[in-house]
Structures are given as C-alpha cells and as structure tokens.
Structure 1
Amino acid sequence: MDLRGKALKLLSQREHSRTELRRKLGGSDVAREELDALLDELVERNWQSDARFAIAYVDANAARFGRYRLQNELRERGVADALIADALAQLPAEDDELSRAREVWRKKFREVPTDPAERARQARFMQARGFAYDTIRKVLGGLDED
C-alpha cells in the first residue's frame, strides 16, 4: 500500500492530528518532502483537520477526564493552543466539570475517604484524571451545594 493509501486508511478509522499522521506514516523509507506534500494535500481537501480532531477527542474523552488532562493530551498530539481552546470551549460550564468529576470518582471509589492517606490517594487519582484542585476538594468533601 502506498503512503497515500495508508493515510486514507488511518483517517477512515478515526480523526488524527497532523502530528499523529506524520508519526505513523514517517518511516525511514519516506522522504520528508513527500510526507509534507501529502499532509498538505489532506488538509487542502479537508480530509484531515486538527480542529475536527480536537473536537472529536474532547467529545470522546470528556466523560473520563478533566479540562487539564484533555488540554495536555491534545498538546502532546500537536494540536495548536487556539484549536484546543476552541474544542474545550464546547464543554459545558464548570458545574458540568464538577458532575463529571463526581461520576469519575463514584465509578472508582464509591465511598468518601475516612482517613488522610485514603483522601490523598483519591485526590492523586482525580488529579491524574485532570480535574482542578477546587473540583477535587468539592468531590472528596461531598459538598453538593458548591
């Protein structure tokens, strides 16, 4: 299969960022100029779009991760900060972030921590999922009214 065929096959399975495609297609036998030309063509034809990828990624992962994790994951995939901000702006307001954090916490733990060590363990888990400290504090404190 030629380089173009591989790119189209990858894009038919799911959205990819330009950086992901470059990494997946750029083997030792591929000329850099040829790869850049192909990636430019895919963008021109609107077959590849970092903006579309960012929105799809946020939609697929928002239920499991907080804003910070989503932002970092998109940066690692080579998406521009402006496109990341646009994709994250489509997420509902902070109240929804709190409800998503509560749901993630419920699935993993189900019980409010009873000692400082358990509280720290649960807080680390929630931080790794990309939730803000204030959100974590509200979830672990059981403050439904905040």
Structure 2
Amino acid sequence: MLDTPTEIRRKAMDLLARREHGVQELSRKLLQRGAEQELIDIELQKLVEEGLLSEQRYLESYIRSRANSGRGPVRIREELSQRGLARDDIEQALAQADIDWQEQLLELWQRRFGEQPADQKAYAKQVRFLLYRGYAMDWVQKLFK
C-alpha cells in the first residue's frame, strides 16, 4: 500500500530505473499498487518538472525497442495509441526516429523467409506475416516486386 508521497515517489523511481514509462502507464501501475490518484498526479507532475519522467524519452525508447524486434510503424503507432499517448506526439516521434523502415522490412523478410514465395499460398502467408508485424501494404507489395 502506497499511502505517502514519499512512498509513491520511491516506487515511481524504482519503476523508472528499470525502463522509461509514459505518464499514464506509470500512473496505472501506481494505482494498482494502492496509491491514491491525487497523490500520484502530484508526484508524477514533480517528476515531469524535474525531467525524470518524459513522454518524449518514453516514445523514443519504445519505438527503438519495438523496431529492433521487427515491428513496423503501423503496429508501433497502434500500440502507443492504446497506451494513451497523443496521436500527434506519436507521429512526431515516428517521423524523428532515425529508422529506415524499408530496410527494416527487408531485413525482417530475409531473416524470416529469405526467398520469394513459390506459390500464391506462400505469398499470402508472407504478406500476412509482414502486415501483422506492422508494415504498410504498399511497402510489402513493393518488396515483392
């Protein structure tokens, strides 16, 4: 039970020491641990003001992490939206990410399949996989041309 501002701050700092978090995500985790929303809001605002909690750093870290695990921008955008981040912030972070999405797509496809599909069934399987991973259909079609 987190019932003092000090305990809430300490727990928030523990969570931030492991990895970057968004404000909403950190708030949710603290609520689950029994803290009151009023105290959470006050402490998280202090962390933001001190530069210890940053949505921008969280976005950059999340995008880099997901891209390195083979996820495309469509999927990453959707995941971040579900986590309550603003669409404009997500778009800006994706645009600023130093990631060549076409190259990522090619590397993922080569790792997973390595060769052109032999028939329509294999083609459909490869397309479904790449779309599920979060790459746009026009990029996937371009890959096979």
Q: Give TM-score, length-normalised by structure 2.
A: 0.87
Tell me the distance in 2 between the aligned counterparts of 1:28 and 1:49.
21
Match of 2:109 among 101, 105, 109: 105
Please state if 1:5 is matched with 2:10.
yes
Match of 2:136 among 132, 138, 141: 132
Give the paired residue count: 139
Displaced runs of 4+ in structure 1, greater than 6 A? none
Calculate percent identity across the aligned residue pairs.
37
Match of 1:123 in 2: 127
Shift of 1:92: 4.9
Match of 1:39 in 2: 44
Match of 1:85 in 2: 91
Superposed CA offset, 1:108-140 (max 9, x none) = 11121111111111111100111011111122x
Which residues of structure 1 form unaligned runs of 5+? Answer: none
Superposed CA offset, 1:64-114 (max 9, x none) = 121111111111222212211221112358xx3221101111111112111
| Cα RMSD for the two superposed structures | 1.8
Which residues of structure 2 form unaligned runs of 5+? Answer: none
Change (3 A) 1:29 1:10: closer
Q: Give TM-score, length-normalised by structure 1.
A: 0.86
